């Protein structure tokens, strides 16, 4: 298929490269001239602007966005609107908020353009070798892009989730689950390390990655990380969050659904960013006040 591809960061570059390897005809654009040139060397058609990208595609166009969530998606869509025609399709494959996707779908519908929100999972390796993609929007538009999805994803790794916003909602919940799973793995290895047994954590992770109930890609990644350093001393313990965990908790409040594990994993990420946390000092002070428990003075 012929399609436009906008946004050639780490994920976008790998996805575009994957599609090229599968024989698709891509017109690519990015603010980075170097990124566009690199993909042009691999068979893509380079576009110097959004206007040129639109001109190089025949209507009905398929334009896939892999730009950072938020204002960048909105600004890119607004720049595309005067360049698009009825029956064109815009796909947002980034980690956008589902409510933003609902709004964008309504905006593009005004000009007769279909909008699909495609939540993409699998990391950089998945983008290059086979991803998992959850798509929301008009079913007729989904059917049009399915050949792209089939080649981008592993077998049975893509599907139609429902109306606009559902693709990114599914991806948001997926990432919330991911938060909880990673937190449980981290806590488990912390307990192993604190025990009286001299565990080889790499060996434990290797065993768990083969045949255990908790086997899976995350455990395989744990093996890989521990092979680099059995104590992970090359990393800082401060954990960032990219938004999906917060949105998941907000959605749970809106729908009155209890998600204590996911919520706790998000709050733990906040906690990880400070070695001198007020909550710790409050607990220490209260313990001292009611029970005379010792506390550590600040230096």
Distances (CA, A) of 31 to 9, 20, 28, 50, 96: 10, 20, 11, 10, 20
Choice among 138, 146, 178, 202 that is catalytic? 178
- Please say whether the beta carbons of 35 and 11 come within 8 A: no
Cα-based angle 52, 54, 60 (whole degrees, multiple of 5): 160
What is the rounded CA–CA span in Å between residue 229 and residue 238?
17
What is the token pair recorded at 140?
A: 């007729």
- Please say whether the beta carbons of 48 and 27 come within 8 A: no
Choice among 171, 220, 228, 254 that is catalytic? 171
Determine whether 228 is an active site residue: no
As a dihedral over the C-alpha atoms of residue 138, residue 143, residue 149, residue 151, rounded to 10 degrees, the angle is -170
As a dihedral over the C-alpha atoms of residue 217, residue 69, residue 268, residue 266, rounded to 10 degrees, the angle is -80
The radius of gyration of the chain's CA atoms, rounded to the nearest angstrom, is: 23
Q: Which residues are paired to 4 by β-bridges? A: 27, 63
Q: Is the peptide bond before 205 cis (omega within 30 degrees of 0)?
A: no
Pairing of strands 114-121, 131-136: antiparallel
Q: Which residues are paired to 114 by β-bridges? A: 89
Determine whether 102 is an active site residue: no
Look at the alpha carbons of 283, 286, 288, 293 in this order and tell me if their dihedral is positive or negative.
Answer: negative
Q: Is 213 exposed, middle or buried (0-12, 13-18, 19+ CB in 10 A)?
A: exposed
Query: What is the set of active-site residues?
Result: 171, 178
């Amino acid at each position: 298929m012929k399609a436009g591809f906008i946004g050639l960061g780490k994920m976008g570059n790998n996805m575009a490269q994957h599609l090229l390897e599968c024989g698709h005809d891509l017109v690519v654009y990015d603010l980075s001239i170097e990124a566009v040139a690199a993909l042009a060397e691999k068979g893509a058609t380079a576009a110097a602007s959004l206007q040129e990208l639109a001109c190089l595609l025949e209507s009905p166009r398929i334009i896939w966005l892999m730009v950072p969530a938020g204002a960048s998606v909105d600004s890119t869509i607004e720049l595309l609107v005067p360049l698009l025609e009825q029956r064109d399709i815009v796909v947002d494959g980034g980690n956008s908020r589902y409510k933003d996707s609902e709004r964008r779908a309504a905006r593009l519908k005004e000009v007769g353009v279909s909008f699909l929100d495609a939540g993409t999972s699998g990391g950089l390796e998945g983008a290059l070798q086979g991803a998992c993609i959850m798509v929301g929007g008009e079913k007729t538009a989904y059917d049009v892009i399915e050949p792209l999805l089939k080649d981008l994803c592993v077998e049975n790794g893509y599907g139609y989730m429902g109306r606009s916003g559902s693709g990114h909602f599914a991806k948001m919940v997926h990432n919330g689950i991911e938060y909880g799973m990673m937190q449980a793995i981290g806590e488990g290895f912390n307990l192993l390390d604190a025990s009286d047994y001299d565990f080889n954590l790499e060996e434990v992770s290797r065993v768990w990655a083969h045949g255990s109930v908790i086997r899976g890609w995350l455990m395989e990644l744990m093996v890989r990380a521990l092979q680099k350093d059995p104590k992970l001393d090359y990393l800082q313990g401060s954990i960032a969050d990219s938004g999906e965990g917060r949105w998941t908790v907000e959605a749970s409040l809106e729908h009155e659904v209890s998600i204590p594990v996911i919520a706790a994993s998000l709050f733990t990420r906040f906690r990880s960013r400070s070695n001198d946390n007020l909550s710790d000092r409050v607990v220490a002070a209260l313990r001292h006040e009611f029970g005379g428990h010792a506390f550590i003075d600040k230096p």
